[in-house]
Amino acid sequence: MKSNIFLFGYGRLGHTIVEVLKDTSFHFQVIESSSSRYDQAQENGYDTIYLDITKDEELEMLAVKAEDYLICVMDDEHLNVFLILSLRALFPKTTILAISTSIHATQKMKMAGATKVIDLYQVSANRIHNILKKPVATKLLDDFLIREDGISFKEIVIPVHSYLVGKLVNNIDFQQHGVIVIGFINMSYSRKFIFITSGLNHQLNPGDMIVCIGEYEKLKAFEQYIKRSQK
């Protein structure tokens, strides 16, 4: 079953995240309590729901399933923590992701029930550490990811009738399509990211996700290619 993303907050962080999500295979909905931001999200063409996130009875109306993702990026830190508390109580098995801008907020969000908290300050600190300690490797990675010819990442879900269904990862020649597969996620079981170099010769199933690097146009073409029916 395909996972959906519910993104709470179309503010400074939410706006950026939505721009990234629109190019993925996930279906996502923006949840907003502000009428002005709700209107803005709709004007930008996003599937948006207007509700009061402080009311459990309104949150309960969302069609959230256990395999979905709830992303909490409200601009108000306290409101974000309150939202995580409510969502964890209403949807105990669903993955809740949050973004934090301070160590104190990170601790509160984890205690409130967030599955994973991305601490922007920690990410920045790690980035500075890599620049200082691994300048060559960091520059090579930057040059690869920030090239003008459109090199990017793409997550591709294996459709039910794809010719890849039932094939072993190690037996597929991805390079002929001009892309590099760096790993996959077995959505039916662990839902954990597994690097292609792990040695696990996984058999691809419908719903599995492969993560690729390549030129933007080649990634798009490859995504269409793997949607071909089994021969």
**CATH number where 187 lies:** 3.30.70.1450
Considering only CA atoms, which of 10, 85, 86 is closest in space to residue 45? 10
Same domain, 117 and 39: yes
Give me the CATH number covering residue 61: 3.40.50.720
Q: Is residue 116 over pLDDT 60?
A: yes
On whether residue 139 sits in a domain, the answer given is no
Same domain, 160 and 73: no
On whether residue 130 sits in a domain, the answer given is no
Say which residue, 80 or 129, is predicted with more confidence. 80
Same domain, 42 and 97: yes
Q: Is residue 38 over pLDDT 90?
A: yes
Distance CA 48, CA 37 (A): 10
The domain of 89 spans: 4-123
* Number of other CB atoms surrounding residue 165 within 10 Å: 18
On whether residue 84 sits in a domain, the answer given is yes
Q: Tell me the torsion sign for CA atoms 74, 80, 82, 86.
A: positive
On whether residue 128 sits in a domain, the answer given is no
Same domain, 199 and 158: yes
Amino acid 3 reads S
Q: Is residue 122 over pLDDT 70?
A: no
Residue whose structure tokens are 């207007």: 50
Q: Of 123, 138, 161, which one is at a domain's C-terminal end? A: 123
Q: Write down the mean pLDDT value for the chain.
A: 82
Say which residue, 19 or 47, is predicted with more confidence. 47
Provide the domain count of the chain: 2
Q: Which helix (H) or strand (E) holds 108?
A: helix 103-112
Q: Of 69, 88, 123, which one is at a domain's C-terminal end? A: 123
Same domain, 155 and 70: no
How many percent of the chain have pLDDT more than 70?
Answer: 80
8 Å CB contact between 179 and 222: yes
On whether residue 47 sits in a domain, the answer given is yes
User: 107-137 burial by CB neighbour count: b if 16+ within 10 A, else e?
Assistant: ebbeebbbeebbbeeeeeeeeeeeeeeeeee
Distance CA 74, CA 54 (A): 12
Q: Is residue 49 over pLDDT 80?
A: yes
The SS3 of residue 159 is coil
Distance CA 85, CA 82 (A): 5
Residue 18 has what pLDDT?
Answer: 87
Q: Is residue 125 over pLDDT 80?
A: no
Per-residue pLDDT band at 22 (split at 50, 70, 90): confident
pLDDT in tens, 187-225: 666 667 777 766 778 888 888 888 887 777 888 888 888
pTM beyond 0.85: the answer is no
Same domain, 115 and 26: yes
Say which residue, 23 or 52, is predicted with more confidence. 52
